[in-house]
């Protein structure tokens, strides 16, 4: 089944050109199927690019998914047209009484700030606490993963000497869990960040499970409450050209930036991009939807309410 999104969202035409089947909400309304409800809290400045990246991954599943796009009320986005936000996005106040099967919270370019100095921190932590009660499984991406680990478990982030930038090899600490079903022993993931979380800090917290890491990129995937929260430090959702766009942008601004590691063929930008992470990305999100969202979501209303009250 396809992902169900607003019929005139820009992602629709982009993904159709990639031969990805998406269904707009007008057509979906004619089908008698209970779709999975997934909220995407988009903290990135250029929201159209990010929403397209995640819709691309959510569409690669036999399950029908209905996506609600969420933005921060306490932060004004300056890199996405106001008309787009008004047409397609909701504020937290619009959904706070809802329950969702799944939620994705994206990264944000604020990692060099202390968490409490981010101007929407209070609203964001309110959403974190709400998600713990109202969402079956939430994925926190990159900076959001650092923010979630800090908010729930007191895990600090640390500045890196230079930007962690490129595509890195990862391994599995627990290959038997459903999220990793079908994974190879080694797989690749893009990273683009200036801060890090430390392995030893994760291992000190009994509630956290360190499930995947990289010799070069460090901690990759941490889970708590059996998959109710999944913290991912990398960007498996990135489109092939994203790191290249970041690299060229920073070069044009004369910012300190090194060529992304393991990204270009023979480490030569003129030879083009070597995409090594796409299969892993699709498989991970497919497994998440199946095992941690669909199969974990109760359908009895009383069971739903009981689930929201426990383990929080």
- The 10 Å Cβ neighbour count of residue 87 is 12
142 in catalytic set:
yes
282 in catalytic set:
no
Which one from 142, 191, 229, 280 is the annotated catalytic residue? Answer: 142
In the chain the first and final C-alpha atoms are separated, in Å, by 32
Per-residue 3-state assignment (H helix, E strand, C coil) for 76-130: CCCCCCHHHHHHHEECHHHHCCCCEEEEEECCCCCCCCCHHHCCCHHHHHHHHHH
The DSSP code sequence of 165-224 is: EEEEEEEES-TTSGGGTT--SEEEEEEEEEEE--HHHHHT-TTEEEEEEETTTEEEEEEE
Which one from 170, 191, 235, 280 is the annotated catalytic residue? Answer: 235
274 in catalytic set:
no
Which one from 51, 111, 213, 237 is the annotated catalytic residue? Answer: 237
Residue 140's SS3 state is: strand
Catalytic center residues: 142, 235, 237
């Amino acid at each position: 089944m396809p992902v169900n999104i607003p019929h005139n969202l820009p992602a629709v035409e982009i993904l159709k050109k990639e031969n990805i089947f998406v269904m707009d909400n007008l057509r979906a309304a004619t089908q008698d199927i209970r779709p999975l409800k997934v909220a995407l809290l988009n903290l990135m400045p250029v929201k159209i690019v990010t929403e397209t990246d995640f819709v691309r991954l959510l569409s690669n599943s036999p399950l029908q998914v209905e996506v609600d796009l969420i933005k921060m009320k306490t932060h004004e986005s300056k890199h996405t047209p106001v008309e787009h936000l008004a047409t397609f996005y909701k504020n937290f106040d619009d959904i706070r009484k809802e329950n969702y099967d799944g939620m994705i919270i994206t990264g944000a370019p604020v990692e060099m700030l202390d968490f409490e100095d981010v101007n929407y921190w209070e609203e964001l932590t309110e959403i974190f606490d709400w998600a713990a009660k109202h969402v079956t499984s939430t994925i926190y991406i990159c900076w959001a993963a650092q923010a979630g680990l800090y908010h729930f478990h007191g895990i600090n982030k640390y500045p890196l000497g230079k930007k962690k930038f490129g595509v890195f090899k990862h391994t599995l600490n627990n290959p038997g869990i459903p999220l990793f079903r079908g994974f190879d022993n080694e797989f690749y993931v893009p990273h683009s960040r200036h801060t890090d979380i430390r392995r030893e800090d994760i291992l000190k917290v009994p509630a956290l499970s360190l499930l995947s890491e990289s010799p070069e990129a460090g901690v990759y995937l941490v889970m708590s409450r059996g998959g109710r929260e999944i913290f991912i430090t990398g960007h498996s959702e990135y489109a092939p050209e994203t790191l290249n766009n970041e690299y060229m942008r920073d070069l044009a601004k004369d910012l300190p930036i090194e060529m992304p590691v393991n990204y270009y063929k023979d480490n030569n930008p003129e030879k083009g991009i070597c995409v090594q992470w796409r299969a892993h990305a699709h498989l991970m999100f497919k497994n998440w939807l199946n095992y941690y969202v669909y199969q974990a979501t109760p359908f009895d209303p009383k069971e739903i309410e009981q689930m929201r009250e426990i383990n929080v």
